[in-house]
């Protein structure tokens, strides 16, 4: 059950720690007025699983989006098991290519949506990104799951659960940030 719902035992522990960080106000979240948000930027480690899926799905729903990875190379395709799981859900990740954080150019109105609080901490200390508003994508999933554990090389069952969680966030984001509509 842990492997299916949280990816690994570490995923469950990180979820618990993330909830504690957010409860004491130490989650690295920095949000402006929602009306100021014009583009949703999805961030994860490699930009081949979680942020790739979120970017493609949000764009498909008419939102203005971008995505990048904190530790990746440019032009990598989506991770094949993630692309396959997305395809079974009716979403094509075939055109997605990864982007390095160094090649991302912030725009006025961007909101960085990270998958983990450790991503938020990295963004907060990057001089080029420290002033860009940021939060956790999992705060918008239903139910809220602030830590979205990386499905890379994990079970097909967890990959599907992770993508389904991300999919629940897209309509919530659209309602929360109406000016991000394309």
Write out 145-175 in H/E/C secondary structure.
CCCCCCCCCCCHHHHHHHHHHHHHHHHHHHH
Structure confidence at residue 22 as a pLDDT band (50, 70, 90): confident
Residue 126 catalytic? no
- At residue 31, does pLDDT exceed 90? no
Pick the catalytic residue from 39, 49, 110, 150.
150
Residue 50 catalytic? yes
Least confident of 18-22, 38-42, 72-76, 118-122: 18-22
Q: CA 32, CA 90: separation in Å to the nearest integer?
A: 33
Angle at 171 between CA 167 and CA 172, to 5 degrees: 100
Pick the catalytic residue from 44, 55, 110, 139.
44
- Residue 1: the pLDDT is 82
Pick the catalytic residue from 14, 50, 139, 160.
50
- Residue 32: the pLDDT is 83
- At residue 114, does pLDDT exceed 80? yes
The three-state DSSP-derived secondary structure of 35-75 is HHCCEEEEEECCCCCHHHHHHHHHHHCCECEEEEECCCCCC
Mean pLDDT of the chain: 95
Mean local confidence (pLDDT), 153-171:
97
List Cβ neighbours of 72 (8 Å cut-off, separation of 6 or more): 45, 46, 47, 48, 98, 99, 100
Place of tokens 């957010």: 22
- At residue 38, does pLDDT exceed 90? yes
Structure confidence at residue 182 as a pLDDT band (50, 70, 90): confident
Helix axis angle for 117-125 and 9-23, nearest 10°, is 60
Residue 162 catalytic? no
Break the chain into its structural domains and give their ranges.
2-180
List Cβ neighbours of 96 (8 Å cut-off, separation of 6 or more): 48, 52, 55, 56, 77, 78
CATH T-level topology, domain 2-180: Rossmann fold (3.40.50)
Percentage of the chain beyond pLDDT 70 is 100
Q: What is the pLDDT of residues 86-97, one digit of tens each?
A: 999 999 999 999
- Residue 132: the pLDDT is 96
């Amino acid at each position: 059950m842990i492997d299916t719902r949280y990816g690994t035992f570490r995923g469950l522990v990180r979820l618990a720690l993330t909830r504690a960080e957010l409860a004491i106000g130490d989650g690295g979240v920095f949000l402006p007025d929602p009306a100021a948000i014009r583009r949703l930027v999805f961030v994860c480690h490699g930009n081949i699983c979680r942020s790739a899926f979120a970017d493609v799905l949000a764009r498909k729903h008419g939102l203005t989006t971008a995505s990048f990875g904190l530790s990746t190379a440019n032009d990598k395709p989506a991770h094949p098991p993630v692309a396959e799981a997305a395809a079974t859900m009716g979403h094509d990740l075939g055109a997605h290519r990864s982007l390095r954080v160094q090649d991302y150019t912030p725009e006025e109105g961007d909101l960085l949506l990270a998958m983990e609080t450790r991503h938020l901490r990295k963004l907060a200390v990057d001089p080029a990104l420290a002033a860009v508003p940021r939060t956790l994508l999992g705060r918008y999933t239903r139910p809220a799951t602030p830590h979205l554990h990386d499905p890379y090389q994990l079970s097909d069952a967890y990959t599907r659960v992770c993508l389904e969680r991300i999919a629940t966030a897209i309509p919530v984001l659209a309602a929360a940030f109406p000016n991000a509509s394309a």
